[in-house]
């Protein structure tokens, strides 16, 4: 078998991970070696239905033919030139993203954390330039996730990620998500920025209430603070809109994107207006790979495919089908699951109070059946499949998930 031959050739197994990789992760017991669409195959040739999409990254699925072709074509032309020179793919990508959004300008980097790092540094620098050093406070939300750099774990609302890394950047407040009164109370003229995920991803798949985001916009306007939307997970078509802010009709000052922007080729972007971008003058911020031609060429093609009305309306209807499927499971297993949350193809299935902290047992059972799903905290199973998911995939997932839950319950649940 082809996959077995590959394994022998490479001579590595899951055990190798435990010997040579810094143990920040505890990956699953199988090693994916090949993907196509929503399918993944492991070293033994076993096939999995992938509803994780590499954590909301593979929006167009694995090995999308148009992206493979784009990457191959660019690989033969130009890989890298540094920011001493610009390049055609990055200019085309910036044009596409600014044409499609509120933004006038884009800054490119290599990951979500770096996009947020740029956004937070820009907000502080903009406030410093316009109002002075005292306007440095950042408001963020409990359970939010913004990445793993020191600044972004400090701004993120999950203390476990910043524990033991102090001293941390200062003047950062964390207030409850979707709590308008708390936001009003926390706001002041020393605030330079409010950073929020329109749909909290890692924090449990929790969409913002429309009035909450509208209030944040008003509070930022009243206090000359910048509103930053972290759309690293909720963007690039995930909600059935290119970015979730379009569904809410609340326009941020800065927007960050990454994950599905490169469909697996690392790239991050920070989008903003002319006025705010003016604070990032030559030499103030940068990164060697930012706007790399390979990444930019792939992202350009991704934007072209996703930002089409037909594509996005298909995501909306697929999102409704996924929601209906999961609601059917809640209805049939009311003692196990309590609710379905989310927007579009970003959905969370919450465990009931009878099974606290046990979502992982269900995803492990599903994995054995060949169905891959994620967690969003200990109590929520998260589904962020490729946006090209079909009705057939959804009914297959329905069947596999039910079989997995049955087996898990039979084995003592
Ligand atoms: C994944 C994620 C990040 C971090 O992105 P990385 O590419 O892992 O650095 C930041 N914010 C949100 C909302 C995310 O989902």
Catalytic site positions: 145, 230, 259
Most ligand 1 atoms within 8 A of CB, residue of 145, 265, 295, 343 to mutate: 145
DSSP character for 371? E
Closest residue to atom 5 of ligand 1, CA basis: 112
Read off the pLDDT of each residue in 380-389 and give the average, rounded to a whole number: 98
- Nearest residue to 407 (alpha-carbon basis) of 359, 369, 372, 380: 369
Most ligand 1 atoms within 8 A of CB, residue of 149, 155, 201, 236 to mutate: 201
Structure tokens at 104: 């006038």
Read off the pLDDT of each residue in 278-302 and give the average, rounded to a whole number: 98
Range 72-77 contact pairs with CB under 8 angstroms and sequence separation of 24 or more:
73/297, 74/293, 74/294, 74/297, 74/298, 75/294, 77/293
In degrees and rounded to multiples of 5, residue 401 shows phi and psi of -65, -40
Sequential DSSP letters for 265-294: S--EEEEE-HHHHTTS-TTSS--TTTT-HH
Q: Is 233 in the pocket of ligand 1 (CB under 6 A)?
A: yes
Q: Is 153 in the pocket of ligand 1 (CB under 6 A)?
A: no
Lowest pLDDT segment from 8-22, 189-203, 277-291: 8-22
In degrees and rounded to multiples of 5, residue 392 shows phi and psi of -65, -45
Structure tokens at 325: 């499927």
DSSP character for 37? B
CA 181 to centroid of ligand 1, rounded, Å = 27
Read off the pLDDT of each residue in 65-78 and give the average, rounded to a whole number: 98
pLDDT tens, position by position, 228-249: 999 999 999 999 999 999 999 9
Q: How confident is the model at residue 14 (pLDDT cuts 50, 70, 90)?
A: very high
| Integer Cα distance of 165 and 150 in angstroms | 8
- The sheet carrying 39-42 orders its strands as 32-36, 39-42, 47-50, 371-372
User: Residue 7: is its pLDDT beyond 90?
Assistant: no
CA 112 to centroid of ligand 1, rounded, Å = 4
User: What's residue 9's pLDDT?
Assistant: 60
Read off the pLDDT of each residue in 115-132 and give the average, rounded to a whole number: 98
Host H or E run for residue 230? strand 226-230
Strand partners, 358: none
pLDDT tens, position by position, 146-202: 999 999 999 999 999 999 999 999 999 999 999 999 999 999 999 999 999 999 999
As a whole number, the mean pLDDT across the chain is 97
- Compute CA 127 distance to the chain's CA centroid, rounded to the nearest angstrom: 27
| Integer Cα distance of 338 and 41 in angstroms | 32
pLDDT tens, position by position, 240-275: 999 999 999 999 999 999 999 999 999 999 999 999
Most ligand 1 atoms within 8 A of CB, residue of 24, 25, 113, 208 to mutate: 113
Q: Are 111 and 96 in contact (CB under 8 A)?
A: no
User: What's residue 413's pLDDT?
Assistant: 84
User: What's residue 223's pLDDT?
Assistant: 98
Whole-number percent of the chain with pLDDT over 70: 98
**What atom in ligand 1 is closest to the CA of residue 55?**
1
User: What's residue 6's pLDDT?
Assistant: 53
User: What's residue 412's pLDDT?
Assistant: 85
CA 228 to centroid of ligand 1, rounded, Å = 14
**What atom in ligand 1 is closest to the CA of residue 152?**
10
User: What's residue 1's pLDDT?
Assistant: 45
In degrees and rounded to multiples of 5, residue 50 shows phi and psi of -95, 100
- Nearest residue to 93 (alpha-carbon basis) of 269, 280, 289, 260: 269
């Amino acid at each position: 078998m082809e996959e077995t031959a590959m394994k022998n050739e490479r001579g590595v197994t899951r055990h190798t991970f435990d010997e040579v990789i810094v143990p920040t992760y505890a990956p699953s017991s199988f090693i994916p070696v090949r993907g196509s669409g929503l399918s993944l195959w492991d070293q033994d040739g076993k096939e999995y239905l992938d509803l994780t999409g590499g954590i909301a990254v593979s929006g167009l699925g694995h090995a999308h033919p148009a992206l493979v072709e784009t990457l191959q074509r660019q690989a033969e032309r130009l890989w890298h030139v540094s920011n001493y020179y610009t390049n055609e793919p990055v200019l085309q990508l910036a044009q596409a993203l600014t044409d499609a959004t509120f933004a006038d300008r884009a800054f490119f980097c290599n990951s979500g954390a770096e996009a947020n790092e740029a956004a937070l540094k820009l907000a502080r620098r903009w406030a410093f330039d316009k109002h002075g050093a005292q306007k440095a406070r950042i408001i963020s939300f409990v359970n939010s996730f913004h990445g793993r750099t020191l600044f972004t774990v400090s701004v993120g609302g999950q203390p476990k990620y910043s524990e033991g890394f102090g001293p941390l950047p200062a003047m950062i407040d964390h207030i409850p998500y979707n709590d308008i009164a708390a936001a009003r109370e926390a706001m002041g003229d020393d605030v330079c920025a409010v950073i929020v995920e329109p749909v909290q991803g890692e924090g449990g798949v929790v969409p913002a209430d429309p009035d909450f985001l509208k209030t944040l916009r008003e509070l930022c306007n009243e206090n000359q603070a910048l509103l930053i939307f972290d759309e690293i997970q909720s963007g690039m078509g995930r909600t059935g809109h290119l970015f979730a802010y379009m569904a809410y009709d609340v326009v941020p000052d800065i927007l960050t994107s990454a994950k599905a922007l490169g469909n697996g080729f690392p790239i991050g972007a920070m989008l903003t207006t002319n006025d705010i971008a003016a604070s990032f003058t030559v030499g103030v911020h940068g990164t060697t790979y930012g706007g790399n031609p390979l990444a930019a060429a792939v992202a350009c093609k991704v934007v072209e495919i996703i930002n089409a009305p037909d594509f996005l309306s298909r995501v909306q209807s697929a999102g409704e089908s996924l929601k209906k499927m999961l609601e059917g499971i809640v209805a049939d297993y009311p003692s196990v699951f309590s609710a379905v949350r989310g927007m579009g193809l970003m959905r969370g299935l919450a465990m009931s109070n009878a099974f606290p902290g046990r979502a992982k047992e269900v995803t492990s059972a599903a994995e054995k059946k060949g169905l891959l799903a994620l967690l969003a905290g200990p109590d929520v199973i998260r589904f962020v499949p490729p946006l090209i998911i079909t009705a057939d995939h959804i009914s297959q997932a329905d069947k596999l998930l039910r079989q997995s839950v049955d087996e898990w319950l039979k084995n003592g649940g």
